[in-house]
Amino acid sequence: MPSFAVTPGGTPAAESGHSVGVVEARRARFDAPLELACGQSLPAYELAYETYGTLDQARSNAVLVCHALNASHHVAGCYADNPEDIGWWDNMVGPGKPLDTNRYFVIGVNNLGSCFGSTGPTSINPATGRSWGADFPLVTVEDWVDAQARLADMLGIRQFAAVMGGSLGGMQALAWAIRYPDRIRHALVIAAAPNLSAQNIAFNEVARQAIMTDPDFHDGRFETFDTKPRRGLRVARMIGHITYLSDEQMEEKFGRALREGLRFSFAPEFQIESYLRHQGEKFADYYDANTYLRITKALDYFDPAIATGGDLARALAPATCKFLVVAFTTDWRFAPARSRQIVKALVDNRHDVSYAEVIASHGHDAFLLDDPRYLAVVRAYFERIAAEGSATTAKAAP
């Protein structure tokens, strides 16, 4: 593959595009209270965010990228003081990339309750002067979307060209379409589901139990004890990882390969064991346990059809945007059948929906990876949005 010099705003890039280069995280502060689904209210909060590309004069080319479980607002590019810290969707977002920052103004935002810059359990609770910790309220996908809408207000964006996300991010795109139908022209719902299955909830609950029964958890007040529930976080992450990869992919990548022969001990013998332990260790280093608990709960709670007696079509009826739904054949966390439920509900409403079921071996993680067919689908969809951009704008301005 040829390499490219970074030329921000430069000439059309080659097929694979190039990086947005050095980016800066910002923080927006909101002083109006936010009413949460749980009944509590956050008196004030901050959202960490990044932007790439330029907002056009009509303010019509903004795309909001929503993140999944353990990601953040750092979607693309890298930081000046840490060039290794590449955004989690850098293969998707950049000049000449499928979500082309030469055309679109892209916003990455860290969800409320996270531990990467937005207000969450690791932030200072103004009422006590100490970290929120276990006192941080349980937040929902809808709460996130409401907070994101205020960020859009602050940035002067009345309507997004698109809201986009994979996995839990796709659920946020769905919630946007239902909750703010006039503020979003397109929703890209990738590797998502209309709600969690019993099995999905079960995996989340085991992960939570691993964390909550770790003696270092101290009912979520571990910071006071100058510790963190590392054991629980490790196990939680290991469980998660199994569900992100497909059986096939794990077999291909690790199979029954050993590190150095059978040793008849409980030290890691199979390579898959070392891999999982390593992933668990890394996660325990950087992730906050109270955040993990809350994000898994937000996943469990997400169920737009609960308001319509389980009727997903009725739940999606208020949406007016167009949809791209993408699923991956070997994703067993949110299998294609779950995406098809979304598509069916949209079709029942005669909403405009494109559906791609991508043959990919990487399971749920495929939404983050460099699958040429997948990236081509997203690229084509954004080209379509750009092509219809002026028409839609004309329609929106009577």
| Contact residues: a second copy, CB under 8 A | 37-39, 137-138, 195-199, 201-203, 205-206, 208-210, 212-215, 231, 234-235, 238-239, 241-242, 245, 247, 250-251, 253-256, 262, 264-266, 268-270, 272-273, 276-277, 280, 293, 297, 300-301, 303
Nearer of residues 160 and 244 to a second copy, judged by Cβ? 244
247 burial level (CB within 10 Å; 0-12, 13-18, 19+): exposed
Show Cβ contacts of residue 101 under 8 Å, excluding neighbours closer than 6 positions: 20, 52, 53, 76, 93, 94, 95
CA–CA dist 382, 378 (Å, integer): 6
Residue closest to 69 by CA, chosen among 235, 247, 273, 237: 237
Nearer of residues 152 and 207 to a second copy, judged by Cβ? 207
Nearer of residues 83 and 215 to a second copy, judged by Cβ? 215
CA–CA dist 376, 136 (Å, integer): 41
Quote the least distance from Cβ 317 to a second copy, whole Å: 21
Asked about 370 being catalytic, the answer comes back as: no
Quote the least distance from Cβ 266 to a second copy, whole Å: 6
Nearer of residues 192 and 378 to a second copy, judged by Cβ? 192
Q: Are 324 and 378 in contact (CB under 8 A)?
A: yes
Quote the least distance from Cβ 264 to a second copy, whole Å: 4
Quote the least distance from Cβ 134 to a second copy, whole Å: 9
Number of C-beta neighbours around residue 279 at 10 A: 16
- Rg over alpha carbons for the chain, rounded to the nearest Å, is 21
Q: Which two tokens stand for residue 160?
A: 């997004």
Nearer of residues 157 and 192 to a second copy, judged by Cβ? 192
Quote the least distance from Cβ 198 to a second copy, whole Å: 4
Residue 65 is given by DSSP the state: E
Quote the least distance from Cβ 44 to a second copy, whole Å: 21
Q: What is the DSSP string of 101-129?
A: TTT-EEEEEPPTT-SSSSSSTTSEETTTT
Tokens 């704008």 -> residue:
393
Q: Which of 167, 214, 351, 365 is catalytic?
A: 167
Q: Which two tokens stand for residue 164?
A: 């986009």
> Is residue 6 classed as helix, strand or coil in its secondary structure?
coil
Quote the least distance from Cβ 206 to a second copy, whole Å: 4
The residues facing 163 across adjacent strands are 64, 187
Nearer of residues 28 and 212 to a second copy, judged by Cβ? 212
Asked about 364 being catalytic, the answer comes back as: yes
Q: Which of 100, 214, 288, 331 is catalytic?
A: 331
In angstroms, what CA-CA distances link 223 with 191, 216, 229? 35, 10, 10
CA–CA dist 58, 328 (Å, integer): 35
Nearer of residues 18 and 297 to a second copy, judged by Cβ? 297
Asked about 73 being catalytic, the answer comes back as: no
Q: What is the DSSP string of 292-318?
A: HHHHHHHHHH--GGGGGTT-HHHHHTT
Q: Which of 73, 364, 365, 371 is catalytic?
A: 364
- Using CA atoms in the order 137, 152, 62, 96, what is the torsion angle rounded to 10 degrees? -50
141-158: burial string, b at 16+ Cβ within 10 Å, e else: bbbbbbbbbebbeebebe
Nearer of residues 129 and 261 to a second copy, judged by Cβ? 261
Quote the least distance from Cβ 268 to a second copy, whole Å: 8
- Residues assigned a catalytic role: 167, 331, 364
